[in-house]
Structure 1
C-alpha cells in the first residue's frame, strides 16, 4: 500500500504484483490480514476492510482530526487502531494527544477507547495473545483490551517482535528488551546502534532474527542466539568517505562515517578495514612522516599511528567538539580546526598530539580547515567566508577579507604568498599572503569541498555535485573535467602528477592514472543509482542548516517538504519544475526545536515519492 490509495497484491511469493482498486486516493500506511481473504488497510483517518482478498473494499471513516498509524485485529470482529488526534496549538487548537480506537464489528464502526493527554501519539499496538497487549508508548492491557494501564517499561519502544513466549522490544536509544517467559521477566541487551538509528526488528524463529536501521548509512544486524549477540551483516560500504591520503601510488587510506578507516596497498584495487576504536565521523587525516600520522573526528576524538598506519589508537579526547581538520608540520607540532558542536576552536600541540592547548575559541565562528606553511605561518577557513591568518604559530590570529559569505571548506598553501581556498560557490586565490583575495575564473565546481595541488601550477578541486575541476595556472582559472560520479565528492589527493583519488558519499572512491581521465576503481557498495534518487541530507545531524541532494532522470514537477514526527508539514523547500540531473536545496532549521524530522520528495510527472529522516541537534 502507499500514496494515492495504492494497494498491491502478490499471489506468487512476490515475483509479480498487481494493483487492486481501494476506492480512495488517500495515502495508505498499514495492512493486516487474518487469512487469504479477510484483511484491513489503514489510511490517515479511515480503515478499509476486504472479505474477498482485496477485490472489494469497504471504508469506515473517523473525524478529520484523527490520524491513525497502526492497527491490530484479534479475530474477524475485534480489533484496535492507534494514532493521534487534535489540532496544532499554533492553528488555534489544543494540541495533539494519543488515542486508541476499538471495533467489535470487523471495522464497520469504531469507538474511542482511550485518550492519553500525556503522550501526543501512539505509534504501535501489539498483542501477545487474547489477553496481553501493548499500545506504545506507555500502555499495557491484560484483559484483552477492555482496559489499558500505564506501563513505563515500554515508553520509547519503536518496534516489537513476539514469537510464542519470546518477546523483543526495540527502543529508540539503541537498546533491546527481551523476555523469554511471556513478559514475566525482562533482560536489557545492548546492540551496536546509536540512538535514532533503529527502525525495525524481525525474527524467523526464537533464535534467528534481524534488525534494520532507517538511518544513513543503513545497517543490517543478525542474531542466531535469540538476541544475546548481534553481528553487523551489512554488505559492502555505504559510509560517507570524507578524507583520503596516499603515501605513494600503492599505499593509501580513506576514512569517514562510523569510524571507517580503510587501507589499500595495491593502489585501490582492494581495501582492508582498520580498527580505530571509535564509532564517530572521522573528518581529516595528516601524516608528518612515513611513520607518524593523525586522524580527527567527532566527539573530540584524535587517533594516532606510530607504525606507518598499520595500527591506529586513540591518542587524546578533547572537548566535545567536531574536529574538522588536522595539520602537522613536523612530528611534534600540529593544529586542529573545530566547530559545529561548540565554539569555533583552534587547538595546538607541541608533543605529537598527546596534549592540546586552545589558541582560539569564538562562539561566532565555525572553523572547517587549517593549513600551515611552517611552524609560524598558517591559515584557517570556515563558514561565512571566514579566513584567519597567523604568523606566530597561532598565538594571534587576524581575520582577512575574503569578499564572500560562502563557506570555505578547504585550501592549499603553495608558498608564503600564494594560497587557494575553495568552498560552496567560491574558489579564491591570494598572491600577497591573504591581504586581498580574488575569485577564480572558468569552470569551477559549484560546491567545492576539497582542493589538491601537484607542484605550484597544477591542481584539482572536487565538489559535492560529483564534479572535478583542474587548474594549470596555480588556481587563477579552472577547467571542468566532467561529472564522473553520481555521488558527491568530498576529498581529493594525488600521489604524483598522474595518479590521484577522490572519495565521497555512499562509499565512492574514484581513481585517475592519467591526471584526470577518471575511472571508478571502487564503489564500495557497488551502488547503481536509480533514475529517481533522494540523497541523505548532509551534514546529519545538523545544527541549523543542511543540504539535500536529489537526482531526476528528466525535467519534472518536484515538491520537497519537511515534516515533524507527527506528520505535520513544517517547511516547503522546493515546489516547482526542476531540471534533469543532480539538484540540491538547503534546509534552514533554526526556527525549529531539536528532534527527528522527515523530508519527502514527490514528483508529479513520474508519480514517485520517497521519504528520509534527518536529525536537528540544536
Structure 2
C-alpha cells in the first residue's frame, strides 16, 4: 500500500502491458493486488505513478474604457457563467464568478483546455489580446467568448485566463410588417406590396436597411417611400435611413405578374454549394465534400473541404466573418474570408488554391430569397400519400414529374424510419411543418435519384439531425441545426450549424416548376444601434396567381404560346400523363401513358382505342415499332410486345422485370436495345425472344434513353453519368465528353448529328459521333428538356414541361439596330407553354407535330405555315427574353443573347453581387428581334455577377459566374 504525499493523486492503474512500467495501485485506496512470494523470490515490478492536480482561472472585469486591459479602477463582474472544455470540444463543467469577478477550476488532470465566457445581458466583450501582458489583457474572442486552447502541466495553476466586458448602448426594436394589395392577381396584373418599418425604441435608430428580394414571376414596375428613401430592386435593399423612437416609414413596391419569367425554382446564390449557412458554424471534425459558404463566423478542426470537387473549382470555402481553421485541408480551390482569419497555418493545407480576404456573397439577400422560396414551396399542393405505420412513415407518389408530400414534423421526429416510394426519375418535395425537429432513424428513397429529393423544413427553428443518412437536399432557412453525427448526401441550407456530421457532395438537380403561389419576405438587414428583438424583424405576404380565367396558374414560357395553332388530338383522362407517342408502319398513332395504357388512333387522333386491356402496368415509358411491324413498349415492369396490334401481348420479354425506360430498334438489323433504370442496357437479336446484358464499359447503369445513327453507332443517355457511345453494336461502351451528367432524351438526324436533351442544362449537340459537343440553349427558357424529335427535313423540336415546344432555327440578323450579324442557332417557341409537355412525335408523312403531357390530352399542329420565318422577320419573339450567357462559368469573355418583342430604348447592364454596376453592354434604341452582345470581363475579379435587361415593359435578370 502506497501513501500519497500532499497535493498528489494516483495515476490510472494497469495501463499498457508492461508490469515493470505501469502503475499497479488502486487510485482510490493506494493498494496493489495480493501477490504470492515463495522462498527466494524477488519481485521488483510493483510500482505506483502519482502526479499533482492542476487548475486554471482568473477574472471577468468591467472594462470601463473598453480597451481590453484591466485597469486599477475597473472592478470584477459577479455571476458570469464560465464553461470549461477540453480541446476536443467536450464540455466538462461550468462555474460562475464570485463577488470580485473571480472564477477557478481546480483538481484538473494535466492536459489541454479552453474556457468560454457567457455574456450577461446588455454587455459585449472587450477586444482581445491588447497590450503585452497576459495577466491583464482580455483573452476571450470578442464574438464567441472563447479562449484559445492552453496546456496545463502537472501541479500548475494558471490564473491568466480573463475576460473584459462592458455595457452596450441601448438597443432598438425595429418591427417589419409586409402586406399586399391583391392576394389573387391574374397573370399580367399589377399590384403593390407595402412594407412598414417601425422603431419601438427605446432609442433612435440610424442607417436602417430592410431587404426585400422580388421573387421570379414578378417584374419590378416602381416604388415610393414615405420618407423619400430609396429602394434598389437589383440588390433588394431599402435604405430606410434614420428612424426616431416610435417613428415609422413605409415603402410601396409596384410589380407586374409575369409567370413567363419563371420556369423552375432554383436555390439562388446557394446553388452549387454543398453547405450554405447564413450565420455561424462550428464543426470540430468531419468534412464537406463540396463547396461551403458561411455568412458569419466559422470554426473548423480536423476538417476537409472540397475533396470531391474537380480541380480548379474556384472559391471552395467562403466565410463572411471570422474564419478559425485549426487543422485539416481545403482542396481544389480557394479560401475566402470576410473580417479576419487565423490562416495561413501549418496544420491547414490549401491544395491547389489561395487564401484571400474578400466579400463575394450577399448572405442577407440570399437569406431573404431562400426564406421566400421555402415559404412558396410549402404552398405546393400535395399529390402523394403519407401513412404512419406504427411509427414508420411510408410516403408513396405516382407522378412521373413531381411528387409533393405534406409531413408532420412531430410525426417525423417520433418515427423509427421513413420510406419514400416514387417513380424513377421523378422529383420529391417534402414539406415538413413544426418549429422543433428531431430527425433520426432509417431513411430510404426508392425509385428516384437523391439529387431529385428536397426536404423543405419551412417552419423549423431548432433542428437536431443525428444517426441518419439523409438522402437529398435539406432546405431549412430559419433553423439552427445541431448535427452531431451522421451524413447528409445533398445540399444543406440553414441559418446556423454546429456538430460533427458529414456533408456529401450531391447537388439538387430536380425540376420543380414555378407555382401560382408566390411568397415574398421582407426582413431587417441592418440597424444602429443593433436590434434586440429578432421576433419581429421579418414579415411575408403571399399571393395566388390565376391564369386570367380564374384558375391558379403555373410556370409558363417566355416564348409565344400560339395555342390556337394547336388542336386536341385525343384525350384519355385528367389523371393520365401522355409519356410516349409513336406511329406504326401503317401510320396509326400510338400513345403510351403514365397510367399504364396504350392507345391507337387510325385517323390522326380523331378516334382512339385502348389496345393493352388487362395489362397490370403503371407506366409506358417508350414505344418502338420493329421493321416487321411488332410493337414493343418499355414499362416499369419490363419489355412487352405485340405482333397483332394489341390482341395478344408477350412479356415481360426475357423475364426481366426491370424499369425499362427506353426502347430503340436498329432499322438496319432489327436488333432491339432496351434501357433499364439501374441495370444498364439489354439487347435482343431475335425479336425479343432472348436478351443479353451489354454493359461492358458502361460505368453508369441508370440509362434513360437510346438512339442509333445511320452507321449503327449506339448512343446511351444516363441519369448521372452523361452519354456513352458504342461503335460495335453494344459490345463495348465509351463515355462521351458531354460535360453534363443528367441526360433525359436523345435523337439523331439523317446526317448523324446527335442531340442530347438534358435534365437541367438544356440541349447539346454533336456533329462528330459524340467526340465533342456544343451547348444550344439560345432562346430556350427552360433547362429541363424531356423530349427531342427530328422530322424528315432534319428539323429539330424539343419539349419542356413548363416551357412548351421549341423548334431549332437558324437566325441571321441584318437590320439596323441589331448588334450581331453572325448566323446562329436559336430555339423558337412554337406553343404549348404551361401544358406540361413530356412527349413529342413528328409524323413525317403528314408533316404534323404531336405533343402530349399532363392532363391526358394529345395536341397536334401542322408544321408548315405556322412558324415565324426568322430570316425574313428577324425572328421577332412574342415575349421579351434573356438567355443564359454562354459559356458559363466563363474566363474572361462570354456571349449574351436576348429577344426584344418591340422596338424601343433598352439597356443591358452588369452588376456585382453587392449591387454596384460594373458594365453597360447596351444602352440605346434597338429593333425588335434577337440580339447578341459580347462581354469581356478581363478587368473584373472572380465572382458571381448579375446581368439585367431593362427597358419599356421589360426587366429581366440572370446571374453568371466569372471564374479566373
Q: State which structure, 1 or 2, has the greater radius of gyration over its C-alpha atoms.
A: 2
Q: Which has the higher contact order (CA 8 A, sep 6+)?
A: 2
Tell me the TM-score normalized by structure 1: 0.44
Higher strand share: 1
